[in-house]
Amino acid sequence: MKLNGKVAFITGANRGLGLETARDLGKQGIVVVLGSRDSKKGEAAAAKLRDEGITAKSLAFDVTKSLDHQKAYDYFAKKYGRLDVLVNNAGVLKESQITPDGSGPNPVSVVSPEILRETFETNFFAPVALTQKLLPLIRKAPAGRIVNVSSILGSLTLHSDPNSPIYPFKTFAYDASKAALNAFTVHLAYEVREDKIKVNSAHPGWVKTEMGGPNAPMEPSEGGKTSAQLATLPDNGPNGGFFHLGQPLPW
């Protein structure tokens, strides 16, 4: 496979959406570096991609650890001198979508401060801090791309519409963390609007992953397509948007 000279860092990439995003990017000739908390699982995933002809590397990485942010910066600065693509994919869902009595989603009135803090730490504070750390390297790329993996459940517009398909699916901590991540997308896109950098939020879709569960309608192979599209946007592509498979979503 011919490499195109670009390098991408995907967090939470040893399985699920992150691995599929890495696969899609790797098939386009991009060197993919898989960030994984479990170094053995990360290397196994990278080896699997290499068996498919993809140039893949693994980096032991926990998005919630600031020391790992510095380690990632040092890795890309020393090895490549820049970073072309950052996909903030790592995320958690700490809540169940069904209450103990089976009647519906967790009521916001009982979501604990601990769940809120843990969810926001991984889904919002960590990707913001990581992006801030790596932005100087992304600025050195000819056409930097930042993809924040969000969710349609972060759409305040759809959550407030009784006719919306997501109206009854309310997991407060997760939804609020993704709405906050979307706000980061908008603000960072504004900051880099004069640069050759594009920042967008991705809704991967409801995918059969450990988080999505077995009832999801989309196969894992489809899960990385939106992130991969946004990671490889042309110069005239959108900046500061929220998309699923090329279609804009409401904030």
How far lies 196's CA from each of 47, 98, 190, 192, 234, in Å? 32, 44, 12, 8, 10
Task: Please state the rounded mean pLDDT for residues 121-137.
Answer: 98
Residue 2 located in a structural domain: no
Domain that holds residue 58: 7-248
Q: Count how many domains the chain has.
A: 1
pLDDT score, position 14: 95
**Interatomic CA distance for residues 246 and 139, integer angstroms:** 25
Between 126 and 206, the higher pLDDT residue: 126
Residue 201 located in a structural domain: yes
Task: Please state the rounded mean pLDDT for residues 37-53.
Answer: 97
83 Cβ neighbours under 8 A, 6+ residues apart: 7, 8, 9, 76, 134, 137, 138, 140, 141, 144
Q: Is the pLDDT of residue 118 over 90?
A: yes
Q: What is the band of 222 on the pLDDT scale with cuts at 50, 70, 90?
A: confident
User: Do 26 and 57 contact (CB within 8 A), yes or no?
Assistant: no
How far lies 168's CA from each of 101, 104, 176, 215, 236, in Å? 16, 8, 15, 17, 37
pLDDT score, position 223: 78
Q: What percent of the chain has pLDDT over 90?
A: 82
Torsions phi, psi of 245, nearest 5?
Answer: 50, 45
Active site residue 174: yes
- Give me the chain's average pLDDT, please: 92
Residue 186 located in a structural domain: yes
Q: Is the pLDDT of residue 98 over 60?
A: no
Longest alpha-carbon distance in the chain: 55
**Interatomic CA distance for residues 166 and 204, integer angstroms:** 15
Q: Is the pLDDT of residue 65 over 60?
A: yes
Residue 51 located in a structural domain: yes
pLDDT score, position 104: 58
**Interatomic CA distance for residues 76 and 210, integer angstroms:** 29
pLDDT score, position 70: 98
The 3-state DSSP class for residue 74 equals helix
Q: Is the pLDDT of residue 232 over 60?
A: yes
Residue 82 located in a structural domain: yes
The 3-state DSSP class for residue 220 equals helix
151: exposed, middle or buried (Cβ count in 10 Å: 0-12, 13-18, 19+):
buried
Residue 1 located in a structural domain: no
Three-state SS sequence of 132-196? HHHHHHHHCCCCEEEEEECCHHHCHHHHCCCCCCCCCCCCHHHHHHHHHHHHHHHHHHHHCCCCC
Q: Is the pLDDT of residue 147 over 60?
A: yes
CATH number of the structural domain spanning residue 76: 3.40.50.720
In this predicted model, what pLDDT tens digit does every residue of 160-177 receive, in sequence order? 999 998 898 899 999 999
Q: Is the pLDDT of residue 100 over 50?
A: no
Write down the catalytic residue from 73, 75, 174, 190.
174
